[in-house]
Amino acid sequence: MPLLEVDDLHVSFGTPDGVVRAVRGVSFSVDRGRTLGIVGESGSGKSVATQTIVGLTRGARVSGRATLDGENLLGADPDTLRRIRGAKIGMIFQDPLSSLHPYYKVGWQIVEMIRAHERGTSKSAARQRAVDLLDAVGIPSPRTRIDNYPHEFSGGMRQRVMIAMAMALNPAVLVADEPTTALDVTVQAQVLDVMRDLQREFGTAIILITHDLGVVADMADEVVVMYGGQVMERAERRDLFYRHHHPYTEGLLNSLPTSGRRGKLTPIAGTPPSMITPPPGCPFEPRCVHAMDRCREKPPTVEIPGGGPHTSACWLPVERAQRTKAEAS
Amino acid sequence: MTTTEHNAVAPLLEVTDVRKHFPIGRRPLFGGPQPVLKAVDGVSLQVRPGETLGLVGETGCGKSTLARCMVRLYDLTSGTVNFNGSDISTLSRGELRPLRREMQVMFQDPYGSLNPRRRVGSIIGDPFAIHGVAEGDERKRKVQDLMELVGLNPEHYNRFPAEFSGGQRQRIGIARALALNPKLVVCDEPVSALDVSIQAQVINLLAELQERLDLTYVFISHDLSVVRHVSDRIAVMYLGKIVEIAGVDDLHDHTRHPYTQALLSAVPSADPDAVAARERIVLTGDLPSPANPPTGCRFHPRCPKAQQICVTDDPELVSRLGDDAVHQVACHFPLADGELLTASRPAIADIDPDLSFDASAAEKGTSA
């Protein structure tokens, strides 16, 4: 059984304009020591899906199942959820400055978090652990840096502090929502290395949410591509990049400027759908070059044979994926 | 472009030894110099008509400040900017005005750069109003032509910015920048706020417009794959200075500066096999503060190749290792073709700071 399993998750929000159906039937899972990449553009529902699992979407209408180590997450009462968050699921977000309290020293914030979850830990023991954690994420002279305020750290260092805090209780799952989007590429490389090292050491499962296909190609074992609140394609990393099946995955990859090829890019025409009145069938149908009449009914999620576990929500014949493989090699 | 071709055309924009220092904090009570942040510290470059010059570097390297100096949105601390034959660094506001029509800026944030309470037609028509070019029906017609040019529906003339998506808003910014037929357009992170599929639409549009309207672009971005796609030449900045400038292919195939190599190797690629095969150089440390930059070569505290001379002497931006004049690097120990930085830790840690200056080693380094 997978460590974290999400099945048929639906999330919607009431807004003055109508009900926003942000997530519509999403399923994924992740195992210990593995990294699941969730990619999608703004409004694809990738962040809402993961925030719902950890109980951060208050006021949302939620249905479906999500279990961690067999324990149900969606129906859990606030106390249970608080115990799970931090201790079993660590989280890091895009903007480390707004995730850290500006008035308190970073060491205090880590110590507080350890002691909130482990009542018996003494202050000095927690502080020692905080120093070790800062050291583990590569912050130089952690013994003095522990008494600095968040603003005294650079963006990359702050994200390291966030990782240290998320990993403080050795959680089974680390949810990283666009962890490097605000960082420069050289700093991004440093931060991704830290995450990789920690995963190797502690066997943490990582859910990496990003819009950057390059980060996914570098980090993920398995990839889920989301669009319009649904999963379009799910595959092992190499399968996704070299023998993708779904036209949206293909469109995303074609939109990227590739090294050494100038000239015109091939963008996806049109804009993403409204999540208040999403298209009745495949959400990508209005922008898809292969759209057919039957795309207006919900497409089945088909198994793509040959390679790892691979599914795609599209009516196109499965042989399509084989063709892209031939082109790639 | 070969060296001779490149030098044959007179530059449209020539930036010579430009410095822009911002005052920070208070002037010391008992005299002493005002502390300054050296955002741009001695940059010289040329932009030829019709080309796209990419400007890359990390946060705080001064690329946006330099771009703003290029079009005199900032007054310079020192240096000159020559645009199309006239020195714009000393002109008064009134004298600048006619030249403003020929140089335009496009900004990153399609949300922050459009007034939410004004209709799109009047936003795009602003340049006509300010420069007294067209009025009434003529202005409306010109605005609608522009909207069509950038792929917006001209019937949406009376809509508000909030009614457009991010990509469409960026098109509004482009239409406004192009209203007065500029020669030079400075694009400051024009696609960074957009999703990839939309980003590709805007990049294609910019390329198309460049061809049709004979535009010259200075294209700033932190996304190196985008810059590589759109640029003819690329200048790499680090802490207020250009460390390397070269044609796109030269910069990638014959990388000379250790910082450029580290920067390029850190760019994520959507090709798992290429990523696995690639030697990635992860730099240690953070960007030093531009208020108190390191002595000598500014990259020396993080450079795996640094020697004693790098601590004391600031290298000049010149052609090295037999490169043509288009490819220049500011480094005492430029990388040879195929040379990879082996260590990622800064070499300077191994050098005894008290070590006396070794002239023979320096000699060897500069003549290499």
Question: Would B358 be classed as within a structural domain?
Answer: yes
CATH code of B70's domain: 3.40.50.300
Residues of B in contact with A268 (CB under 8 A): 197, 200
The residue among A271, A284, A325 with the most chain B CBs within 10 A of its CB, best to mutate, is A271
pLDDT at B355: 37
- In this structure, the answer to whether residues B313 and B166 fall within a common structural domain is no
- Max CA-CA distance within chain B? 75
Question: What single-letter amino acid sits at B240?
Answer: G
- In this structure, the answer to whether residues B95 and B233 fall within a common structural domain is yes
Cβ atoms of A30 and A89 within 8 Å: the answer is no
Say yes or no: B272 contacts chain A, CB-CB below 8 A: yes
Say yes or no: A237 contacts chain B, CB-CB below 8 A: yes
* The domain boundary residue, chosen from B142, B166, B181: B181
- State phi, psi for A83 to the nearest 5 degrees: -65, -40
Question: Would B344 be classed as within a structural domain?
Answer: yes
Of residues B109, B84, B113, B118, the one with CA closest to residue B99: B84
Say yes or no: A271 contacts chain B, CB-CB below 8 A: yes
CB pairs under 8 A between A and B: 123
The residue among A145, A196, A265, A329 with the most chain B CBs within 10 A of its CB, best to mutate, is A265
Closest residue in B to A222 (Cα–Cα): B272
At how many degrees (to 10) do helices B166-178 and B136-149 cross?
A: 130
pLDDT at B197: 83
Question: Would B192 be classed as within a structural domain?
Answer: yes
- In this structure, the answer to whether residues B90 and B226 fall within a common structural domain is yes
Q: Report ipTM for this prediction.
A: 0.82
> Smallest CA–CA separation between A66 and chain B, in Å?
29
> Smallest CA–CA separation between B83 and chain A, in Å?
28
Q: Do A241 and B198 touch (CB under 8 A)?
A: no
- CA angle (B353, B356, B359) in 5-degree steps: 125
Q: How far is the C-alpha of A55 from the C-alpha of B294, rounded, in Å?
A: 47
Could you list the residue range(s) of the whole structural domain that residue B165 is in?
111-181
- Give A128's contacts (C-beta < 8 A, 6+ positions apart): none
Residues of A in contact with B266 (CB under 8 A): 185-186, 188-189
- List pLDDT tens digits, range A277-300: 888 889 999 999 998 888 988 888
- In this structure, the answer to whether residues B172 and B218 fall within a common structural domain is no
- In this structure, the answer to whether residues B119 and B167 fall within a common structural domain is yes
Question: Would B254 be classed as within a structural domain?
Answer: no
Q: Do A256 and B200 touch (CB under 8 A)?
A: yes
> Smallest CA–CA separation between B152 and chain A, in Å?
12
- In this structure, the answer to whether residues B21 and B96 fall within a common structural domain is yes
Say yes or no: A76 contacts chain B, CB-CB below 8 A: no
pLDDT at B357: 36
- List pLDDT tens digits, range A4-54: 999 999 999 988 888 999 999 999 999 999 999 999 988 899 989 998 988
Residues of A in contact with B231 (CB under 8 A): none
Residues of B in contact with A262 (CB under 8 A): 229
- In this structure, the answer to whether residues B72 and B27 fall within a common structural domain is yes
* The domain boundary residue, chosen from B198, B218, B238: B238
Question: Would B256 be classed as within a structural domain?
Answer: no
Question: Would B250 be classed as within a structural domain?
Answer: no
- In this structure, the answer to whether residues B70 and B9 fall within a common structural domain is yes
Into how many domains does chain B fold?
3
- In this structure, the answer to whether residues B333 and B344 fall within a common structural domain is yes
Q: Do A185 and B197 touch (CB under 8 A)?
A: no
Q: How far is the C-alpha of A221 from the C-alpha of A235, rounded, in Å?
A: 9
B285: left (phi over 0), alpha (psi -120 to 50) or beta: left
Q: How far is the C-alpha of B182 from the C-alpha of B215, rounded, in Å?
A: 7
Question: Would B249 be classed as within a structural domain?
Answer: no
Our measurement of the distance from residue A325's CA atom to the centroid of its chain's CA atoms, rounded to an integer in Å, reads: 26
- In this structure, the answer to whether residues B84 and B192 fall within a common structural domain is yes
pLDDT category of residue A71 using cuts at 50, 70 and 90: confident
- List pLDDT tens digits, range A196-207: 999 999 999 999
Of the partner residues A154, A217, A265, the one whose CB lies closest to the CB of residue B271:
A217
* The domain boundary residue, chosen from B181, B215, B230: B181
- In this structure, the answer to whether residues B24 and B58 fall within a common structural domain is yes
- In this structure, the answer to whether residues B126 and B66 fall within a common structural domain is no
Q: Do B252 and A260 touch (CB under 8 A)?
A: yes
> Smallest CA–CA separation between B270 and chain A, in Å?
4
Find where tokens 């048929």 sit: A8
pLDDT at B240: 92
Q: Mean pLDDT per segment of 10 residues, for chain B of length 368 residues? A: 62 94 81 85 93 90 90 92 90 88 84 86 90 87 90 88 85 89 91 84 90 93 89 94 94 93 88 81 78 89 88 91 89 89 67 40 35
Q: Do B269 and A259 touch (CB under 8 A)?
A: yes
Q: Do A256 and B225 touch (CB under 8 A)?
A: yes
Question: Would B245 be classed as within a structural domain?
Answer: no
Q: What is the mean pLDDT of residues A118-129?
A: 91
